[in-house]
Amino acid sequence: MTQYPDPINRSLSPSRPTSLPERSARAAWPKSRGSAADRARISWLEPGPAPRRREKSVADIAAAAVRRANARDCLTILLNTTEPLTVGELASRSGLSRPTVDSVLHDLVEAGPVCESEPPACHAPGRPARRFIADPTSTLVAGLHVTAAAIECTVTDAAGRIVARSRTATDPRQATPRLEAVVHAIRAAVGRSGSDHAAQPGQGGGRDGRRLPTPRLAMVGLAVPGRIDHDHRLADSPVLSEWAGVDLRAELSRRLGCPVVVENDLHLAALAEHQVGQAPDDLIYLRLGRRIEVAIMVGGRVLQGSHRLAGDLDAQRGVRWAASYDRGGLNWSTGREAKPVFERAARGDRAAVEEIDDFCRQIAPRLATLILALDPKTVIVGGGLSKAGHLLLDPLRREIDHQLTTSQHPDLVLAELGGEGAQTGAIGYAFEQGSEQIFGIAAMTAPWCRLREQARTYPRLPTGTDGAQ
């Protein structure tokens, strides 16, 4: 039935509008007059009271939103607490009333992420207070970065704590298809994470001494080089041509039995730098490696564009970043590898220093055009060349300043996450997109704070090595 706005209470009324003949009929046959037959004949003209179900729908939606917000607050506290909490303790920490917390815990226990803990062995006389715990180790989230050379995988629990990591070198000449190698890397990491948790001494697999079931993989985030179209297919890729046109989300979901989200690795690296590195809302992420690529963030969101081409400057025919830049990437005096050039420059080799200066001089005009078009607060430099530090940043900053006639210039900084930005972004993106699959609650906040802490303390994957770390 069509709904029409009610101008009085601003809710939706299910009553249908009346026509002029209907209003005339009501005036001619008031309820207080006429026979029963007359009243029966005009009863279809009377709308009657609106159904209570319709009147309560708006209130129900508002109440459900409040319940979800309360559930998010309570679950967030439990996920970040090492000990079980009573209803009173959780009410004190959340600022909610005890009846509200009790109702929320009942819903969370039914949904699965929270369970009632065993009472302590020693307690005061009388019935012990019920204690609740959310054990994040029973649910896992995986983030992967797939490149031409390797598959990097990180698995976290539902609280965002890293429980397993691996880096597997890949060779296009190998018989195993890359998609199957991705599935194997995820399953191997998930298997190791389950063994690690079961082996924790004195805990029996759970934080309160309970034996927990085998962890389940709830969500996977995949970062790939190339453009992802609106149908979540890899439209094109400079390094993963065999995946062009493949619906990676559907293929991996079918093999792994859980939802998968796929996004461009450069966009996810920018997202991670913004969230984990606490970069400003308006930024340009410049990745300098064998290729030169750009991602843009405006207002804290990655700019995709109508055709998801925003920042893809390589799509412009006949325009190159530098004279030594071709479809295969950058060429140096030493070939495709830039490391020997920067090593010589670090030792004071004048020719190497001039080669780096010339490279920065060539890419600065195009970068300056982007800066003036977008006016970002910061330009973040990532990729393999960013490991050179000031040997790259100083001449690049000097050449950009030379291109700009304004007094206000953006900050030019190195990526805080280094080469792990895309993988970290894939984990956070999986949490953002898969809240209901992971927690049973919509719109839970991704654990960016914990990912930030671990980015500073957790050992990074060694470049060019295989196996788990």
pLDDT single digits (tens) 338-364: 999 999 999 999 999 999 999 999 999
Domains by residue range for the chain, with CATH: 4-45 (no CATH), 52-118 (1.10.10), 136-270+420-468 (3.30.420.40), 280-415 (3.30.420.40)
Contact 453, 276 (CB under 8 A): no
Could you tell me the pLDDT band of residue 117, with boundaries at 50, 70 and 90?
Answer: confident
Looking at residues 22-44, what average pLDDT do you find? 45
Tokens of 40: 């029966």
Burial label for 292, CB within 10 Å (0-12, 13-18, 19+), is: buried
Average pLDDT rounded to a whole number, residues 139-148: 95
Question: Residue 417 in contact with residue 269, Cβ under 8 Å?
Answer: yes
Segment 417-422 shows an average pLDDT of 91
- According to DSSP, the β-strands at 329-330 and 325-326 are antiparallel
Nearest C-alpha neighbor of 283 from the set 348, 397, 378, 162: 378
Where is pLDDT greater, at 37 or 314?
Answer: 314
The pLDDT value given to residue 3:
46
Average pLDDT over residues 410-426: 94
pLDDT value, residue 14: 39
211 vs 14, which has greater pLDDT? Answer: 211
Q: What is the pLDDT of residue 195?
A: 57
Query: Do residues 284 and 374 make contact, with C-beta atoms less than 8 angstroms apart?
Result: yes
DSSP label at 241? G
Highest-confidence range of 10-19, 283-292, 313-322, 440-449, by mean pLDDT?
283-292
Give the Cα separation of 388 and 378 in Å (integer): 19
* Residue-wise DSSP of 41-97: HHGGG---SPPHHHHHHHHHHHHHHHHHHHHHHHHHHHHT-SS-EEHHHHHHHHT--
Angstrom distance (rounded) from CA 339 to CA 392: 12
Work out the average pLDDT over 24-39. 46
CA distance 212 to 206: 6
**DSSP state, 332?**
B
End-to-end C-alpha distance for the chain, whole angstroms: 60
H or E segment and range at residue 102: helix 98-111
- Average pLDDT value over all residues in the chain: 83
Q: What region, left, alpha or beta, does residue 238 occupy, with left being phi > 0 and alpha being psi -120 to 50 degrees?
A: alpha
182-200 mean pLDDT = 76
Q: Is the dihedral of CA 123, 124, 125, 127 positive or negative?
A: negative
Mean pLDDT of the 185-199 span: 74
Question: Which DSSP symbol is given to 270?
Answer: H
CA–CA distance, 178 with 193 (Å, rounded to integer): 23
Q: Which two tokens stand for residue 48?
A: 């009657």
Residue with the bigger pLDDT between 348 and 27: it is 348
pLDDT for res 196: 52
The per-residue pLDDT for range 204-262, each reduced to its tens digit, is 345 544 555 678 999 999 999 999 998 889 998 888 988 999 999 999 999 999 999 99
Q: What is the pLDDT of residue 1?
A: 44
pLDDT of residue 104: 93
| The pLDDT value given to residue 314 | 87
- What was the pLDDT predicted at 18? 42
Contact status, residue 438 vs residue 234, Cβ threshold 8 Å: no
Burial class (CB in 10 A: 0-12, 13-18, 19+), 188: middle
Name the DSSP letter for residue 31. T
pLDDT at residue 189 is higher than 60: yes
Specify the DSSP element, H or E, that contains 273: helix 265-275
Tell me which range, 39-53, 391-405, 452-466, is most confidently predicted by mean pLDDT: 391-405
Q: How far apart are CA 17 and CA 47, in angstroms?
A: 9
The mean-pLDDT minimum among 149-163, 167-181, 417-431 falls in: 167-181
Query: Which residue in 261, 262, 272 sits closest to 297, CA to CA?
Result: 272
Residue 309: is its pLDDT beyond 70? yes
How large is the average pLDDT for residues 328-341? 92
| Beta strands at 411-414 and 378-382: parallel, antiparallel or unpaired | parallel
463 pLDDT exceeds 60? no
> Residues 111, 152: contact at Cβ < 8 Å?
no
pLDDT at res. 93: 94
**317 residue type, one letter:** R
Q: How many CA atoms lie within 13 A of 277 on its CB side?
A: 29
- The amino acid that residue 447 corresponds to is P
Instruction: Tell me what pLDDT residue 306 has.
Output: 93
Percent of the chain past pLDDT 90, that is, above it, reads: 59
Query: CA 133, CA 80: separation in Å to the nearest integer?
Result: 10
Calculate the dihedral angle through the C-alpha atoms of 239, 244, 246, 251, rounding to the nearest 10 degrees.
Answer: -10
Global pTM reads 0.81
pLDDT, mean of residues 1-5 = 43
The pLDDT of residue 302 is 96
pLDDT of residue 460: 73
> pLDDT at residue 38 above 80?
no
Q: In the structure encoding, which two tokens stand for residue 148, read together?
A: 């031409």
Which residues make Cβ contacts (< 8 Å) with residue 84, sequence separation at least 6?
117, 131, 132, 133, 207, 208
Long-range contacts of 201-205 (CB under 8 A, 24+ apart): 205/137
**24: enclosing H helix or E strand:** helix 20-28
Cα gap 374→281, rounded to integer Å: 12
What whole-number distance in Å separates Cα of residue 395 and Cα of residue 401? Answer: 10
Nearest Cα neighbor of 310 from 324, 323, 296, 329 is 296
Tokens (6 digits) for 288: 């300098």
Predicted local confidence at residue 19, as pLDDT: 42
Structure letter (DSSP) for residue 335: B
